[in-house]
Amino acid sequence: MSNKYACDTSVIFNGLVLNLITDGELGEKPEIYIPNVVVAEVEYRTNIQKEIGFYGLNVLKELRKLHQEEKVTLKIVGKRPTREEIKMSPGGELDALIRKSALEHGATLITADRIQGDVGIFEGIQIMYVKEKFFPKESDPSSLKLLEFFDETTMSVHLKQGLPPYAKKGSPGNWHLEKIGDELLSTKLIEELAIEIIEMVREDDHSFIEIEKHGVIVAQLREFRIVLTRPPFSKDIEITAVHPLVTLSLKDYSIDSKLNKRLQKAEGILVAGAPGAGKSTFSAALANYYLERGKVVKTLESVRDLQVKPEITQYTKLEGSLENSADILLLVRPDFTIFDEVRTTKDFQIYADFRLSGVGMVGVVHSSSAIDAIQRFIGRIELGMLPSIIDTIIFIEGGDISAVLIIKMTVKVPHGFRDKDLARPVVEVRDFRTARLSYEIYSFGQDIVINPINPIEPKGSFRREEQLKEEFLREKKRNKKIELDIKVSKQKILIKADPVYASSNIIVFADDHEIFTGSLSRSGNMTLSLSNKEGRKLLKEYDRDKYIFGILK
């Protein structure tokens, strides 16, 4: 084999030709032929602000430097492609011109493109296929310079040309922005970091380019989500890298047995909260929880960065559209789909379509309050469909569950109306922990009204569940609420209360509706036969998942 080598675009864009030269694989002072087609392609990619174009340009500059140092003999050959040939690029016309240049100069064609290599062999060209040799199955991202900006408390790093580096440190809902260096970031350093990131992403089997558009690239490098921007999209070159600090399970959240039971039954869940509150972390925990319960779980993400178990397949946009992805996902028949995040009108329609198809959904929504998450659906879907699509709203604040709302449809006279003829379908939004009515949603003329009855506390309030229950009792019953444990058998219902209420007369409620009055035994128990009216009524309310409690008579 001679020491004449021609390069195609693949080994320029990934820099493999430099590795071959450095490692001595091409012999002493090899002749390197760069077809003008390759130069034109690198120039085109750079002009449209593709990150791979900047990297390829740096590889060409490095080859020129090696030529000046007399380590290689660099020759630019062939003609530049015409506009028609560029248009026919997907059909292989440019690759054909590269192979023609190699053949004319008797050079071995270096390529990382399997199709290019196989066609070249057919045409009688000497081929050096190098992808498998220089792209190991397991790359090591720990060598990245970017990681020098991270420590164990860093949530994200923000690097911008001409400014010192900054980082968000802390935990979801409890973080601060901190300057982590005094030296201003030079253009050269930012470019080196960007090129190193792209090179690692392309080499690593567990990393991928998620989005690449004019002036921006979004990459998932293992557990790091990295956004690279440059003019004209941003004023300056900027790198933002986000790293999840912890992976949690549902046991790490404020979930009691009642809410745990609700999560087992709920199939239309919205996880809401402000940016950085911990929504995605909770959603990932919920996904893993459903997987452990024997469910088939998938995710639908614009950027696949949820930290879920490997058994959960993560889907993204198919041919640039989540709608296309949804069509395929329905054929997969998952029990639950984690939709991160629901933002555009089309996203809300996809969420609704999945729910109406019987797929359990967990949608992640940006909102400043729990009720705002519901408001984002209003106007995008019919009001009457709302309870069929959403049944539980979980608001995350400060990395934990701050509020839980449930919704259902009923026909009633809205709160504040006096005329019984004004009865209409009303969507009731209740606080799950206290069962109190928080909001009513109904049509009034051409408008949709969201009427706050007992609105959820504003952001920043972290009162305990017991305090909420006591407030509900003060407002509604003016008495102390008694927690009741309900156990149902084939012929009877056993009601258990704390022994301190033994031999007491109590009134039993389902939500805020009185069911019956009875007496507790000396051990604090009460038994109802399912053959009597009270027993059947209590069973009906219990099966409806109503909140059952008692107060002293």
Specify the CATH architecture of the domain 143-242.
2-Layer Sandwich (3.30)
* Concatenated DSSP letters of 390-440: --EEEEEETTEEEEEEEEEEEEEPPTT---GGG-EEEEEEEETTT--EEEE
Q: Mean pLDDT, to the nearest integer, of 21-29?
A: 88
On the question of pLDDT at 32 being above 90, the answer is: yes
What pLDDT, on the 0 to 100 scale, is given for residue 298? 94
Whole-model pTM above 0.75? no
Give the C-alpha separation, 514 to 12, whole Å. 77
Domains 143-242 and 250-452 share a fold: no
Q: Among residues 284, 307, 293, which one has the least CA distance to residue 260? A: 293
What's the sign of the alpha-carbon dihedral 193, 196, 202, 206? negative
Q: What is the mean pLDDT of the chain?
A: 85
Tell me how far apart the alpha carbons of residues 45 and 54 are, in angstroms, rounded to a whole number: 8
Residues pairing with 552 in the sheet = 506
pLDDT tens digit string along 167-205?
999 876 678 899 999 999 988 888 888 878 887 887 777
Alpha helices by DSSP H, listed for 407-489, are 465-476
| Residue 1 pLDDT | 54
- Out of 296-300, 316-320, 345-349, give the one with best mean pLDDT: 296-300
pLDDT at 4: 92
Q: Where are the domains of the chain?
A: 4-134, 143-242, 250-452, 477-552
**How many whole angstroms from its chain centre is CA 547?**
33
Q: How many CB atoms lie within 10 A of CB 545?
A: 17
Q: Which run of H or E residues covers position 119?
A: helix 114-122
- Report the pLDDT value the prediction gives residue 440, as an integer from 0 to 100: 94
Cβ atoms of residues 98 and 8 within 8 Å: yes
d(CA 331, CA 169): 42
Per the listing, tokens 């790093």 go with 157
Gap between the Cα atoms of 539 and 222, Å rounded: 51
**How far lies 344's CA from each of 165, 341, 394, 463, in Å?**
33, 9, 20, 33
pLDDT value of residue 461: 39
Q: Report the pLDDT value the prediction gives residue 89, as an integer from 0 to 100.
A: 62
Structure-block tokens of residue 414: 């809205």
The angle formed by the CA atoms of residues 428, 429 and 432, to the nearest 5 degrees, is: 125
| Length reported for the chain | 553
Say if residues 237 and 230 touch (Cβ distance below 8 Å). Answer: yes
Say whether pLDDT at 243 is over 50: yes
Least Cα distance to 60 among 81, 48, 45 occurs for 45
d(CA 434, CA 48): 57
pLDDT, tens digit (0-9, with 9 covering 90-100), for 467-500: 445 554 444 464 578 889 898 888 889 999 988 8
pLDDT of amino acid 85: 64
Q: Over 50: is that where the pLDDT of 297 sits?
A: yes
pLDDT band at 131; cut points 50, 70, 90:
low
CB count within 10 Å of CB 411 equals 8
Q: What pLDDT, on the 0 to 100 scale, is given for residue 404? A: 93
Indicate the fold that domain 250-452 takes in CATH. Rossmann fold (3.40.50)
CATH class belonging to 4-134: alpha beta
Q: Which of 420, 421, 423, 425 is nearest to 448 (CA)?
A: 425
Give CA–CA dist 432/437, Å, rounded. Answer: 9
What is the rounded CA–CA span in Å between residue 397 and residue 277? 5
Give mean pLDDT, residues 375-382.
86
74 vs 201: which has the higher pLDDT: 74
% of the chain at pLDDT higher than 90: 31
* Average pLDDT of span 365-382: 88
